[in-house]
A and B are shown apart, each in its own frame.
Chain A
Amino acid sequence: MKSIFKQALGLILVLIMTCGVFGCTSPSDTTTAQESTEPASGSTEATAASDVRTDLNFGLTGDPQSLDPSKTTDQMSKAIWYQMYDTCIMRDNDGNHYPGLAESWEISEDGKTVILHIRQGVKFHDGSDLTAADIVFSLGLLCDSPQTTSKMVSMSAENIFADDDYTVRIELASPFGAILDVLSCDTRIVCKSAYESMGAEEFNKSPVGSGPYKFVERKTGEKIVLEANEDYWRGAPTIKKITFKIMTDSNTAVLALEKGELDFLSHAPLIARQELMDTDGINWYETDLAGNIYIVFNEDSEIFSNPLVREAIAYAVDKEEMVIGAVEGNGTPQSTMVPPSDAGYIDGFPDIPHDEEKAKELLAEAGYPDGFSFKTITQENATYQKPAEVLQGQLRKVGINMEIEVLERGTFNDQMHASNFDMLVGHWTTPIPDGYFLIYTLAHSSNIGNQNFSRINDPELDAQLDIIKTSVDEAERTAAFRRADEIIQENTYFVPLYTFKAACAANEKLMGVQADPVYKFQVYDYYWAE
């Protein structure tokens, strides 16, 4: 008896240990990579066969901060909003706008008034009718909130009111070129009566929208469950139940996807790209992120206020090598600050070539024939740290010794926002795929003290950025984007480095999935293959 007991114990221990050794083998072998699939309709026809699944386990790599669209800015929360709330206008991946809650819209000739004609017969999840009052209330909430995305509306809207039950009038302080994009992305419409009766805190716990999915339950840190809104104005969704599973460790999320505990993984980690592509039954989807990695200089810095030094750095950088070293080749070198997935991207804009000799000449001309040393800051996050490390090696070749200080996120943000640096590798993503949100924010002189960390104050650049902000004429906007890119390059205000992939991965039988530059995944478009 005693020996059996001993043997059993020994076996348990050996099992625990050996799993580590066996656990290293990979479970799969074939490749099923693809860029993106065909768009699918959200109609209900696809579920005719009874054995076709109608549920979806959606993996999120963070716990959503708030289900109230006026209360936060984090992408995990947005993943839920996209399913529960509608926008007035909708936008496809090519940047075309089409009717949402607003059947049609008009923009006045001076560009300062937007009139939305609201669709009749739309109902909220609690059964109440959606009217102009709900739109005015929701946009008002966004304007009053200090959170990121809301700024997009509040920075432009002077007055929002209802002309009648189904007409909303938005009066802008000045014309705003990206107003339709703003109304089609994160400006989500909530049910006014529910919000007012519950109060913000309770509304966050049982939110009411008009979107294709209704809130069922939330276990914080664990899961959020939504069910289909059968009365949805665009037709009931095919997927009837979504369970958002929170997996803060991305390795675990990848494992859960491989095991089938997840059907879809938003924000799929690029490091698992090859592994997931090689896994049977999983499809990988990727597109260029609506954001970029770039070098930002402090115009007040003793060294980098000299344009020759900035130019030398631009010549010293090898972007191809940077993409390989920092993101394992999963990126695209950039010649402009605006990335390809944003409106305002100028295709084929010439880049400054990699030329170490030229860089050394420029440094000598600037008074640093033997190079110089300085300290940069970065944050403990591969997105920032890896390009900084690659850059360190590249600058060393032209005699510049860059010491890197790694800070935690909060401290890094503080230092960056206080312009307490000489030069650093920055990363910016736009909540809406429009280049305005990137270059206007980072380079307009009115943002000095806020997001213009470089403290750029260039009236010529400001003039172009103002056109980008206020013009509603696409050709005029494009010309302004081109000129702004030129001014930035001529003065080397920034050195754009690269953009990388925004990815998701899904069960291969899940149809209708598309990668999105701002991770805007709409489960309404998904359905299961038979």
Chain B
Amino acid sequence: MLRFILKRLLMLLPVLIGISLLIFAIMSLTPGDPARLVLGSYATEEDLNAWREEHDLNDPFFVRYFDYIGDALHGDFGNSWATNNNVLEELSYRIPTTLKLTAGAMFLMIIIGVPVGIISAVKQYTPMDYITTILALILTSIPAFWLGLMLMLKFSLQLDWFPATGSDTFKHFVLPSVTLTAAIMANLLRMTRSNMLEVIRQDYIRTARAKGATENRVVFKHALRNALLPVITIIGLNFGNLMGGALITETVFSIAGVGTLLVTAVRMKDTPQVMICILFIAAAIGLINLIVDIIYMFVDPRLKTQFLKAR
């Protein structure tokens, strides 16, 4: 098991290096002079050149990239061009907030998406199924920034149940988590429903029913265990969507997380800050997928056997 985890972690390294090269290239090769953005409209050409020189922007692309990677491997990810703060420090302030938001959204996604998907499948072609299917379709279609504002208007401004902005208490995370999870939860709901439907039609379910098992036993003992396997993968993959969605949600709810940090950095063409944010998100997604794979092995006896055999 340890070897498997180590192997997977090592495989993450080339992925991260590939991503770093891609982002570095995008930041460097797209138009827009960071010197001008940082120094402002009154800066003269001399000032701009001095700034570029100071930040090694006059060096060739690959020299700059390998310098960056070299420093990064020593733990030095540089200082923000815009604020001059250490980018790693800046990121570390923001991570807990984003993790709280993502965890909240994931929690809602699982506790609502999976059971409602199951009910919808078990009660196929009933009003309950129609309602949830239509709701899922609507939730998938609503843009997060609009849903966020609407939730704020209703539950914060009018009903005064939750605060509109900030991230100090549990209450602050309710509306952002709902906003962040809405579309993804709907997606999970639909996936759970279709998986469940597929499993429910299998022969062994008919056999279980034929031998006189109760409906609850058929659904929870026989059908659910098999239907959940692909759902776990989807939950893992959706973590990436949640991290990406956090960009918009954090901006709408004025939450100081990794998303807002990244958005501000991109606007300023602040390469060191953008790089560390994207690398963090990529690493987080990689790790979550690793965890999902490990869980998968425990949940699916076939995989566990394969793994044990291979060992």
Cβ < 8 Å to B, chain A residues 398-452: 407-411, 413-414, 417, 428, 431, 441, 449-451
Cβ < 8 Å to B, chain A residues 320-374: none
Tell me the complex Cα distance, A458–B151, Å. 58
Please name the residue on chain B nearest to A410 by beta carbon: B32
Tell me the complex Cα distance, A222–B256, Å. 5
Closest-CB distance, B176 to chain A (whole angstroms): 11
Q: Which residues of B contact A251 (CB under 8 A)?
A: 149, 252
Cβ < 8 Å to A, chain B residues 22-59: 30-34, 36-37, 39-45, 47-48, 50-51
Cβ < 8 Å to A, chain B residues 129-188: 131-132, 135, 138-139, 142, 146-147, 149-158, 160, 163-167, 178, 182
Q: Which residues of A contact B42 (CB under 8 A)?
A: 73, 148-149, 151, 431, 441, 451
- B31 close to A411 (CB less than 8 A): yes
- A23 close to B112 (CB less than 8 A): no
- A23 close to B32 (CB less than 8 A): no
Name A151's contact: one of B43, B51, B267 (CB within 8 Å).
Answer: B43
B230 at the interface (CB under 8 A from A): no
Closest-CB distance, A437 to chain B (whole angstroms): 8
Tell me the complex Cα distance, A10–B31, Å. 49
1/0 contact string of A236-277 vs chain B (CB within 8 Å): 000000000111110111011011010000000000000000
Q: Which residues of B contact A27 (CB under 8 A)?
A: 157-158
Name B119's contact: one of A6, A71, A407 (CB within 8 Å).
Answer: A6
* Given known A259-B157, A261-B164, contact A146–B150 (CB-CB < 8 A): no
- B84 close to A219 (CB less than 8 A): no
How big is the A interface, by class?
35 or more
Q: Which residues of B contact A10 (CB under 8 A)?
A: 128, 131-132
A4 at the interface (CB under 8 A from B): no
* Given known A246-B254, A252-B254, contact A23–B84 (CB-CB < 8 A): no
Q: Which residues of A contact B153 (CB under 8 A)?
A: 19, 23-24, 255
Q: Which residues of B contact A146 (CB under 8 A)?
A: 39, 43, 47-48, 50-51
* Given known A5-B115, A146-B50, A410-B269, contact A252–B158 (CB-CB < 8 A): no
Tell me the complex Cα distance, A147–B47, Å. 8
- A9 close to B90 (CB less than 8 A): no
* Given known A23-B151, A256-B165, A410-B33, contact A220–B90 (CB-CB < 8 A): yes
- B151 close to A19 (CB less than 8 A): yes
Q: Which residues of A contact B152 (CB under 8 A)?
A: 23, 252, 255
Please name the residue on chain A nearest to B150 by beta carbon: A23
Tell me the complex Cα distance, A5–B123, Å. 14
Q: Which residues of A contact B82 (CB under 8 A)?
A: 65, 72
Tell me the complex Cα distance, A147–B81, Å. 13
B251 at the interface (CB under 8 A from A): yes
Tell me the complex Cα distance, A358–B33, Å. 41
* Given known A10-B128, A147-B39, A248-B264, contact A219–B93 (CB-CB < 8 A): yes
- B182 close to A414 (CB less than 8 A): no
Tell me the complex Cα distance, A9–B155, Å. 18
B263 at the interface (CB under 8 A from A): yes
B253 at the interface (CB under 8 A from A): yes
Q: Which residues of A contact B45 (CB under 8 A)?
A: 449-450
Tell me the complex Cα distance, A12–B154, Å. 15
Q: Which residues of A contact B39 (CB under 8 A)?
A: 73, 146-148
A19, A74, A450, most chain B CB atoms within 10 A: A19
Name B32's contact: one of A19, A220, A259, A411 (CB within 8 Å).
Answer: A411
- A19 close to B139 (CB less than 8 A): no
Cβ < 8 Å to B, chain A residues 75-125: none
* Given known A9-B119, A148-B40, A259-B157, contact A249–B150 (CB-CB < 8 A): no
Name B256's contact: one of A17, A72, A246 (CB within 8 Å).
Answer: A246
B207 at the interface (CB under 8 A from A): no
Q: Which residues of B contact A147 (CB under 8 A)?
A: 39-40, 43
Please name the residue on chain B nearest to A61 by beta carbon: B254
B85 at the interface (CB under 8 A from A): yes
- B43 close to A245 (CB less than 8 A): no
Tell me the complex Cα distance, A24–B182, Å. 19
Closest-CB distance, B303 to chain A (whole angstroms): 31
B238 at the interface (CB under 8 A from A): no
B116 at the interface (CB under 8 A from A): yes
A158 at the interface (CB under 8 A from B): no
Nearest 4 A/B pairs, CB to CB: A410-B32, A221-B256, A148-B40, A222-B256
27 contacts between A and B (CB under 8 A): A6-B128, A16-B178, A17-B139, A20-B150, A23-B149, A23-B152, A27-B157, A62-B264, A66-B83, A147-B39, A148-B42, A204-B85, A220-B261, A221-B256, A245-B254, A246-B254, A248-B254, A248-B264, A251-B149, A251-B252, A255-B153, A255-B164, A409-B32, A410-B33, A413-B32, A414-B36, A450-B45
- Which residues of A are interface residues toward B (Cβ below 8 A)? 5-6, 9-10, 12-14, 16-17, 19-20, 22-25, 27, 62-63, 65-66, 71-74, 146-149, 151, 200-201, 204, 219-222, 245-249, 251-253, 255-256, 258-259, 261, 407-411, 413-414, 417, 428, 431, 441, 449-451
- Other A-B pairs beyond A13-B112, A252-B253, 16, CB < 8 Å: A16-B182, A24-B153, A25-B158, A27-B157, A74-B40, A220-B83, A220-B93, A220-B261, A222-B167, A222-B255, A245-B165, A251-B252, A252-B165, A252-B252, A255-B165, A411-B30
